[in-house]
């Protein structure tokens, strides 16, 4: 349930910024708790669609 809420918020944010995204991105709990509660590969897989570097897209 939380993961689907995060996915919807990410989609809404990208639409607001007029950025394209690949819908097959994941939202996961990282192995190392020091890396936060959730992580996603959205910037890595969607950066190419927006002709951006993944790090720039993540900002």
* 6-50 pLDDT tens trace: 999 999 999 999 999 888 999 999 999 898 999 999 999 999 999
Host domain of residue 28: 2-58
Quickly count: other Cβ atoms within 10 Å of residue 42's Cβ: 23
Whether the per-residue pLDDT at 59 is higher than 90: the answer is no
Beta carbons of 46 and 19 less than 8 angstroms apart: yes
Helices then strands, each counted (H, E), the chain: 3, 2
pTM of the model: 0.81
Q: Find the farthest-apart pair of alpha carbons in the chain and give their distance in angstroms, rounded.
A: 32
Q: Which helix (H) or strand (E) holds 9?
A: helix 2-16
Give how many domains the chain has, as a whole number: 1
């Amino acid at each position: 349930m939380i993961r689907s809420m995060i996915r919807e918020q990410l989609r809404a944010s990208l639409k607001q910024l007029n950025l394209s995204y690949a819908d097959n991105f994941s939202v996961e709990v990282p192995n190392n708790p020091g890396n936060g509660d959730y992580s996603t590969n959205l910037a890595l897989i969607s950066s190419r669609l927006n002709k951006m570097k993944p790090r720039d897209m993540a900002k």
